[in-house]
Amino acid sequence: QVQLVESGGGLVQAGGSLRLSCAASGRTFTMGWFRQVPGKEREFVAAISWIGGSTYYVDSVKGRFSISRDNARNTVYLQMNSLKPEDTAVYYCAASPTIVAITTKGGYNSWGQGTQVTVSS
């Protein structure tokens, strides 16, 4: 499995923007972003394919978040705009060896360490 390192988290005011980065040691079929808060299951946020760049989003972030990739740098980004307090969570980058079940945790076999995103009112 590939090694993943997230960065770019921090504290931002509601309505503001933040961009997360995920540096990968190699490429798989699909890269995704998940988030988790205490007491809840890790939630799918967005995914993108390395080839073609097809994207997928959870309904709650559609129109606000955008996932992209830089193939030359093996880096995936999550641009988060119009942030809301309910977006507060630890965000994790993940890599999938396939194109199946890319909106669920089970579809991924490599995970980053997580980066905290806090949105204040």
Quote the CA–CA distance of 46 and 32 in Å, as a whole number: 6
Residue 60 main-chain phi, psi, to 5 deg: -65, -15
Predicted pLDDT at 31: 95
> Tens digits of per-residue pLDDT, 83-102?
999 999 999 999 999 888 89
Please state, in angstroms and as integers, the Cα–Cα distance from residue 66 to each residue in 1, 43, 106, following that order: 25, 16, 22
Q: What is the mean pLDDT of the chain?
A: 95
Quick one: average pLDDT of 2-22?
A: 97
Mean predicted confidence (pLDDT) in 27-56: 94
- Looking at residue 28, what is its pLDDT? 87
Whether residue 75 has pLDDT greater than 90 = yes
